[in-house]
Chains A and B, each alone.
Chain A
Amino acid sequence: MKLKEFFAPKKEKVDEEKDLIRFLSEVELFENLTRNERRNLSQHLYERIYKEDDIVFKKGYPNVVMYIVKEGELQTFLDSTEGESLKTIKPADFFGEVGLFLEEERTATIVSSKDSILLGISKRDMNRFIDEYPRAGSKILRKLATVLCTHLIRTNGTLGAKRDELIDIKKHLEDCESQLQKLSDSQEVDKEKS
């Protein structure tokens, strides 16, 4: 065995790594990173395999790991897993990013709805990567800010729509109330007459 072969990684390993680096360019958060930066980042990723209906984490768990979906599909639940799913997470999406900034607990429960492969990166490793490679870090953070802003705008949009709906409902309720009042008034008048 030559010395070079001894030190060089195996071919399958290299292919695997290449695949991973290619995949990372499809993830919105990392699409601006150079190949080298993506390779460095991939060093910190843990590949996790989840079967259908496996719970990734529950609301209230400590914020430790951020996940990127490589394959499969997952559902977000706010309270229990029995309610309606809040959001479907698809490949190249990521979740658990809140933990990067806040020490708070998990705010939702994530359950895989199909067999999924996730790439986990610990919050500390991610923060270290951002510190150690500031150029790559600023790209990631800017992208993350964009994503979070989009989320905020979308949420504001839905919130606005919901508010309009609520106002409509309130108006409707008020109408109903006044009609009821009128009805009961007229009934009273009827009673007095009789």
Chain B
Amino acid sequence: MDRIKVVRWVVGFIALGIAVMGILFYKSILSYLLIAGIIAYLISPIINYAQKFHIPRALSILIVYIIIIVLIIILINVIIPQIKIQAEEASKFFKQIVKDPEAFSLKSFGLDGVSKFIDRIQTRFTFINVDEYTQMLGEKFVGVINAIPQILINSLSGIINFLAFLIVIPFVCFFLLKDERQLMKTFFGWVPNRYFEFSIYLFEKIEDSFGRYLRSILLETIIITILSYIGLLILGIPYALTLSIIIGMTNPIKFFGPFIGFVPVILVVLFSPLPDIMVIYAILMSIIVQQIDSNILFPSLVGKGLGMHPLWVLLTVIAGGYAFGVLGLILAVPAVFLIKTVVQVSATSLKQFEII
């Protein structure tokens, strides 16, 4: 009896060790797997729909891939030139400032009082040179701006990672999609009989709430992007496409997203030759889009919503931002929602299945 127990412990320990080593070994690609999983999950309804018409899964996946690649190429051809123009204009703007040798000198603003004040300080405390400090700060700022291309080149490893990402993810995605049912069979095959029905129940409940949420966020993003693009085009604000993509991408961030996404719009309006009153119109447009989103899109796509108190959502977004930066802002609410769903479903059904 005791010997069996010891053997069990040893076997369990070895299994745990192998699992930990496996996780450590595959650690660097776990994020790829996660992202590929999410993408596969978002695409899978299309593939399943195509299967209805006897189209082989592999073929329909390839078709979807080709469509996505074409879309990306179109987007790149439209966006990159715009971004290039924008970047050139921005650099012109900064160069103009830097041409002036005393650009960052407080004296250059031509304010008599300030200049006299600085002179007075410098005669009293000869070791303080206020002007030098401000000029130094300004030069540092310009230095950072000028260094951006260098930073991009220096992060070559980042680019290589990105390339690996671009190659690996479609591959992983392909097999996840093609063998979707096989993978699910294997996964649920590991579950002991006692927990089989519970695991299926839990999986389906999560898919019904969280999965629906995930899929509808994607649709929401696309629709919001298109709506804001139309709005910006009507207002005649430049870089409408880039700006609307930013608005769409930040939209999933609860509460703060619309504001963050709208900052670039205000900046563009203020820096462009457009009259400043356009800012008000742009804000009005944003409010209209937001109202369409929260009153029509979200209820019809996500349904009854997250079931989380607004205060809780707000705190989750802030905490996510503190802990994981921009990614945290976007992912905190879905992650917490997922955990909440698991806990909620388990709490009711574990008893029904007599597991606890």
Residues of A within 8 A of B (CB): 7, 36, 40, 43-44, 46-50, 54, 56-58, 60-62, 64-65, 105, 120, 122, 124, 132-133
Contacts and interface: CB of A to CB of B under 8 A. Distances in A.
Contacts of B48: 132
Given A43-B181, A61-B352, A48 B200 contact: no
A46 B201 contact: no
B52 A62 contact: no
Interface in B95-150: none
B111 to A, nearest CB: 72
Contacts of B51: 40
A102 B54 CA distance: 31
B188 A46 contact: yes
Given A62-B197, A120-B196, 16 more contacts: A44-B181, A46-B196, A48-B193, A49-B193, A54-B193, A56-B193, A57-B197, A58-B354, A61-B197, A61-B353, A61-B354, A62-B349, A62-B352, A64-B197, A64-B201, A122-B200
A50 B196 contact: no
A58 B228 CA distance: 55
B270 interface: no
A56 B52 CA distance: 32
A170 B139 CA distance: 108
Contact of A48 (B196, B201, B349, B353): B196
B193 A65 contact: no
Contacts of A64: 197, 200-201, 204
B193 A50 contact: yes
B185 interface: yes
Interface string B185-209: 1001100010011001100100000
Contacts of B354: 58, 61
Interface string B340-356: 00000000010011100
A43 B196 CA distance: 17
B46 interface: no
A124 to B, nearest CB: 5
Q: What 6 pairs across the A-B complex have the smallest Cβ distances?
A: A43-B181, A64-B201, A64-B197, A122-B200, A124-B204, A62-B352
Interface string B24-63: 0000000000000000000000001001101000100000
A141 B48 CA distance: 22
A46 B185 contact: yes
Interface of B: 48, 51-52, 54, 58, 181, 185, 188-189, 193, 196-197, 200-201, 204, 349, 352-354
A65 B198 CA distance: 10
Contact of B352 (A47, A60, A120, A132): A60
Contact of A65 (B52, B189, B197, B352): B197
Given A61-B352, A132-B52, A7 B58 contact: yes
A61 B354 CA distance: 8
A66 to B, nearest CB: 11
A165 to B, nearest CB: 36
A132 B181 CA distance: 16
B184 to A, nearest CB: 8
Contacts of A124: 204
- Greatest chain A CB density within 10 A among B54, B185, B196, B354 is at B196
Nearest to B201: A64
Nearest to A128: B48
A65 B200 contact: yes
B58 A62 contact: no
Nearest to A51: B193
Nearest to B188: A46
Contacts of A49: 193
8 contacts: A46-B200, A48-B196, A50-B193, A54-B193, A61-B352, A62-B353, A105-B352, A122-B204
B54 A36 contact: yes
Nearest to B178: A7
Contacts of A54: 193
A61 B48 CA distance: 30
- Greatest chain A CB density within 10 A among B54, B193, B204 is at B193
Contacts of B204: 64, 122, 124
- Greatest chain A CB density within 10 A among B48, B58, B353 is at B353
A54 B196 CA distance: 13
B196 to A, nearest CB: 6
A57 to B, nearest CB: 6
Contacts of A65: 196-197, 200
Contacts of B201: 62, 64
A40 B185 CA distance: 14
Nearest to B204: A124
A126 to B, nearest CB: 12
A124 B206 CA distance: 13
Nearest to A118: B193
